[in-house]
């Protein structure tokens, strides 16, 4: 894999280019995106950039795991041709212009992490301009992020086609996340309950149990087991608006803290 650190060094050959933006600490979730890009594109660019503008002042920007050499090997084995690994200074010469995606970014993660989606949308727009990919790949694990980026690409007429791929999970159901390594063994043992409760609420809703009741039970189970639930909700899969009865494309989304670690997950109601 060719490691590129500056915008000037990135070339733009006239071939179908697939792009996978990441913050590094690569795991099978990221690798599934890189492999999909490899299968569909002539050239695969992976970015490694821990984006400071999407972290809140009390979040884990400085202690976010960083290991470029190891990430380079994993990305290369999964089929990346270019690893774009810029410094913060390379990406942020100035910080006056922001991409704000109204509506879909406002509730849920947006409400709990002020400025987060503004940072995400801004850096993804910049990376799209820098890399100029034909296709870009994102994980459904970050469901609201997928909707924010889709909205931005449509609203700003960005010439890229987006792919959103299924969440990769541990054998016990826990969604892979770079932040799972923060969990102590006791927390790690509890962590799969978030996904279990999403499945359980989904099963209840599908057999006709009241949505708010099913969700209330799931949240209580999580709280009783030691989670601090931020939200657990049924939402419209496109607008992210809260639903009280099931409809087509509904999505169950949840965020909860185990100790200091915040976990998010979601499933489609069809799952
Ligand atoms: P991150 O490095 O956390 O910014 O994630 C980079 C990309 O990988 C995003 O599009 C994420 O949605 C995606 N991703 C993270 N975890 C998973 C997972 N468990 N399964 C599939 N995609 C994932």
| Rama region for 209: left / alpha / beta (φ>0; ψ in -120 to 50; rest) | beta
- Tell the residue nearest (CA) to atom 12 of ligand 1: 139
- Ligand 1 cavity residues, CB under 6 Å: 22-23, 29-30, 32-33, 138-139, 141-142, 167-168, 175-178
Angle at the Cα of 228 (from 23 to 145), degrees rounded to 5?
35
The rounded Å distance from CA 64 to ligand 1 centre is: 14
Closest residue by Cα to atom 5, ligand 1, is 22
* Residue 27 among the catalytic residues: no
Q: Which structure tokens are listed for 183? A: 């969990």
Tell me the whole-structure pTM to 2 decimals.
Answer: 0.98
Q: What are phi and psi of 136, to 5 degrees?
A: -135, 145
Q: Rounded mean pLDDT of 27-49?
A: 98
CB 127 within 8 A of CB 100: no
CA 52/CA 71 separation, integer angstroms: 19
Ligand 1 centre to CA of 172 (Å) is: 18
Residue with CA at minimum distance from ligand 1 atom 17: 29
Query: How many angstroms separate the Cα of 209 from the Cα of each of 168, 215, 245, 268?
Result: 28, 10, 10, 17
C-alpha to C-alpha distance for 200 and 34, rounded to whole angstroms: 31
For ligand 1, what atom is nearest to the CA of residue 175?
19
* pLDDT tens string 185-213: 999 999 999 999 999 999 999 999 999 99
Ligand 1: atom nearest CA of 26 is 2
Does 155 score more than 60 pLDDT? yes
Distances in Å between the alpha carbon of 106 and those of 92, 101, 103, 254? Answer: 24, 8, 5, 15
- 70-106 pLDDT, tens digit per residue, is 999 999 999 999 999 999 999 999 899 999 999 999 9
Dihedrals φ, ψ of 169, to 5°? -120, 155
Query: What's CA 65's distance to the chain center, in Å?
Result: 16
Atom number of ligand 1 nearest to Cα 23: 2
- Residue with the smallest CA separation from ligand 1 atom 11 is 139
């Amino acid at each position: 894999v060719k490691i590129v650190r500056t915008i000037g060094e990135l070339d733009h050959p006239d071939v179908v280019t697939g792009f996978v933006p990441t913050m590094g600490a690569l795991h099978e979730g990221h690798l599934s995106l890189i492999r999909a890009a490899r299968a569909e594109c002539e050239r695969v660019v992976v970015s490694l950039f821990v984006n400071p503008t999407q972290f809140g002042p009390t979040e884990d920007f400085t202690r976010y795991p960083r290991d470029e050499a190891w990430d380079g090997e994993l990305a290369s084995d999964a089929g990346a041709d270019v690893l774009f690994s810029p410094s913060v200074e390379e990406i942020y010469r100035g910080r006056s212009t922001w991409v704000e995606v109204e509506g879909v970014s406002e509730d849920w993660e947006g409400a709990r992490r002020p400025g987060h989606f503004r940072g995400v949308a801004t850096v993804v727009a910049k990376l799209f301009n820098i890399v100029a990919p034909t296709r870009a790949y994102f994980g459904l694990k970050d469901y609201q992020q997928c909707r924010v980026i889709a909205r931005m690409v449509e609203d700003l007429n960005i010439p890229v086609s987006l792919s959103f791929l299924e969440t990769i999970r541990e054998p016990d159901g826990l969604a892979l996340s770079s932040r799972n390594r923060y969990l102590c063994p006791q927390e790690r043992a509890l962590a799969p309950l978030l996904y279990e409760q999403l499945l359980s609420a989904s099963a209840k809703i599908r057999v006709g149990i009241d949505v708010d009741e099913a969700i209330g039970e799931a949240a209580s189970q999580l709280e009783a087991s030691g989670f601090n639930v931020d939200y657990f909700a049924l939402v419209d899969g496109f607008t992210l608006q809260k639903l009280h009865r099931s409809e087509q494309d509904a999505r169950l989304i949840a965020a909860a803290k185990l100790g200091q670690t915040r976990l998010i997950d979601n499933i489609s109601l069809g799952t």
